[in-house]
Amino acid sequence: MSNILHVGLNCIEPILDMPTNRSIPNKRWHLAFTAIYSSRALYSLLNQKKKKKSRKLPVPSNPSFVVLNVKPEAFSSIDHTTLTAIVNQKSFNKLLEFGGIEGVADALGTGIKNGIDGSVNNVALRQEAFGLNTYQRPPAKRLFHFVVEAFKDLTILILLFCAALSLGFGIKENGAKEGWYDGGSIFVAVLLVISVSAVSNFRQNRQFEKLSKVSNNIKVDVVRNGHRQQISIFEVVVGDVVCLKIGDQVPADGLFLDGHSLQVDESSMTGESDHVEINSHHIPFLFSGTKVADGYAQMLVTSVGMNTTWGEMMSTISRDTNEQTPLQARLNKLTSSIGKAGLAVAFLVLVVLLVRYFTGNTEVENGNQEFNGSNTKADDIVNSVVRIIAAAVTIVVVAIPEGLPLAVTLTLAYSMKRMMADQAMVRKLSACETMGSATTICTDKTGTLTLNQMKVTKFWLGQDPIEDSSLISTDLLNLIQQGVALNTTGSVYRATSGSNYEFSGSPTEKAILSWAVLELDMEMKILIKDFTILHVEAFNSEKKRSGVSIRSEADHNTVHMHWKGAAEMILAMCSSYYDASGRMKDIDDGEWMTFEQIIQGMAASSLRCIAFAHKQIPEEEHEIRETSQKLEEDSLTLIGLVGIKDPCRPGVRRAVEDCQYAGVNVKMITGDNVFTARAIATECGILRPHQDTNNEAVVEGEVFRNYTPEERMEKVDKIRVMARSSPFDKLLMVQCLKQKGHVVAVTGDGTNDAPALKEADIGLSMGIQGTEVAKECSDIIILDDNFDSVATVLKWGRCVYDNIQKFIQFQLTVNVAALVINFVAAISAGEVPLTAVQLLWVNLIMDTLGALALATEQPTKELMERPPVGRTEPLITNIMWRNLLVQALYQIAVLLTLQFKGESIFGVNEKVKDTLIFNTFVFYQVFNEFNARKLEKKNVFKGIHKNKLFLGIIGITIILQVVMVEFLKKFADTERLNWGQWGACLGIAAISWPLGWVVKCISVSKKPFLSYLRWQEHHFLLYVCTKI
User: Residue 200: enclosing H or E segment and its boundaries?
Assistant: helix 181-216
Nearest in space to 702 (alpha carbons), one of 682, 737, 732 = 732
Indicate if 779 belongs to the active site.
no
Q: Find out whether 760 and 715 touch, Cβ atoms under 8 Å.
A: no
Identify the sign of the CA torsion 526, 527, 531, 535: negative
Q: Find out whether 672 and 680 touch, Cβ atoms under 8 Å.
A: yes
Distances (CA, A) of 960 to 282, 583, 854, 944, 971: 76, 91, 19, 22, 13
CA 606, distance to chain mean position in Å, is: 31
DSSP 133: S
Nearest in space to 875 (alpha carbons), one of 344, 332, 432 = 332
Nearest in space to 449 (alpha carbons), one of 793, 786, 792 = 786
What region does 983 belong to: left with phi over 0, alpha with psi -120 to 50, or beta?
alpha
Distances (CA, A) of 873 to 15, 334, 760, 876, 878: 67, 14, 20, 9, 11
User: Residue 82: enclosing H or E segment and its boundaries?
Assistant: helix 80-88
Q: Find out whether 552 and 526 touch, Cβ atoms under 8 Å.
A: no
Distances (CA, A) of 498 to 114, 493, 511, 526, 528: 21, 12, 21, 18, 22
Identify the sign of the CA torsion 699, 702, 704, 710: negative
Nearest in space to 856 (alpha carbons), one of 959, 955, 762, 943 = 943
β-pair partners for 610: 566, 642
Nearest in space to 549 (alpha carbons), one of 640, 628, 456, 642 = 628
**For every residue of 102-127, which 3-state class applies, written as one string?**
HHHHHHCCCECCCEECCCHHHHHHHH
Count CB-CB contacts under 10 A for residue 900.
Answer: 16
What region does 544 belong to: left with phi over 0, alpha with psi -120 to 50, or beta?
left
- Separation of alpha carbons 843 and 514, rounded Å: 66
User: Residue 297: enclosing H or E segment and its boundaries?
Assistant: strand 291-303
Q: What angle do CA 824, 365, 841 make, to 5 degrees?
A: 45
Residue type, 822: N
- Separation of alpha carbons 36 and 32, rounded Å: 6
Dump strand ranges (E) for 531-597.
Answer: 531-537, 545-552, 558-566, 574-578, 584-586
Angle between helices 787-829 and 403-421 (to 10 degrees): 160
CA 1, distance to chain mean position in Å, is: 62
User: Residue 193: enclosing H or E segment and its boundaries?
Assistant: helix 181-216
By the 10 Å C-beta count (0-12 exposed, 13-18 middle, 19+ buried), 220 is classed as buried
Which of 106, 240, 253, 444 is the catalytic position? 444
Distances (CA, A) of 865 to 272, 611, 792, 942, 1000: 48, 45, 14, 16, 18
- Separation of alpha carbons 522 and 515, rounded Å: 9
Q: What is the secondary structure of 700-751 as a DSSP string?
A: EHHHHHHS-HHHHHHHTTT--EEES--HHHHHHHHHHHHHTT--EEEEE-SG
Active site residues: 444
